[in-house]
Copies of this chain bind each other. A is one copy, B any other.
Amino acid sequence: MLKESRKLKLEDFGLFEGISETIVTTSQGLSPNAAPMGIIRKHDTTLIRIFKGSKTYKNITTDNFLVANITNDPLAFVRYTFSEVLPEDIQTIYSQEREFPVLKDAQSWVAFECINTKITPYSLVAELRPVMGHVNCCYPKAPNRGLNALIEATIHATRYKMHGEEKYLELINFYEDIINKCGGEREKEALRLLRTYL
């Protein structure tokens, strides 16, 4: 299912009200980038907020375009937080107007134009207008507290790397117990990878 339209229903691609944790792919010329980012939906508005200094920030200010990739893979959240996306993880989509990178293994993705971008001293906030969406595969999945805890631990790991405060390490330890108790092998592998970055 590949849909090209200004009236895509974001729910069909996995983006619901509140903040959806996705992997955002962007590019500038030949070099694609992937990073975990929240897509914010509130009433009829879809937004993204990106802090200054990242590649995603640079690409979006240049290109005004991004793709939100939907995945439940815990390893994807850790990998793309701390390391570069590999060329073999990327598929290039050619549409009438442009080409752009998506994650091959995403369950689904939505490509957005960034409009009404507001730059503040520390971040940008852009409205997102969906231009194309695709569902690769779809399967039911029960909530897994280990996956959830892995996402929280990854967020605290970036905060720890940024601010160096001990409290973030304590939070990671707190979530580690949940990952070890409730996660599958993939969540535990993601945790081991996360630990290598700390």
Q: Chain A residues in contact with chain B, CB under 8 A?
A: 11-22, 38-39, 41, 68, 70-72, 107-108, 135, 138-149, 151-152, 181-187
Bound CA–CA A21/B141 (angstroms): 10
Query: Closest B-chain residue to A22, C-beta based?
Result: B142
Copies, count: 2
Say whether B141 contacts A152, CB under 8 Å: no
Query: Closest B-chain residue to A106, C-beta based?
Result: B140
Cβ contacts under 8 Å, A71 to chain B: 142
Say whether A142 contacts B70, CB under 8 Å: yes
Bound CA–CA A187/B72 (angstroms): 19
Bound CA–CA A11/B185 (angstroms): 14
Q: Given A18-B187, A148-B148, A148-B151, are A143 and B72 also a contact pair (CB < 8 Å)? A: yes
Query: Closest B-chain residue to A109, C-beta based?
Result: B140
Bound CA–CA A12/B135 (angstroms): 17
Q: Given A12-B139, A14-B139, A139-B11, are A144 and B184 also a contact pair (CB < 8 Å)? A: no
Cβ contacts under 8 Å, A135 to chain B: 140
Cβ contacts under 8 Å, A39 to chain B: 142
A182 to nearest B CB, angstroms?
4
Using A13-B140, A14-B140, A16-B184 as known contacts, list a sample of 17 further A-B pairs with CB atoms less than 8 Å apart, ordered by residue number in A: A14-B142, A16-B141, A18-B183, A18-B184, A18-B185, A20-B142, A21-B142, A21-B143, A21-B144, A21-B145, A38-B182, A70-B141, A71-B142, A107-B140, A138-B139, A145-B151, A148-B151
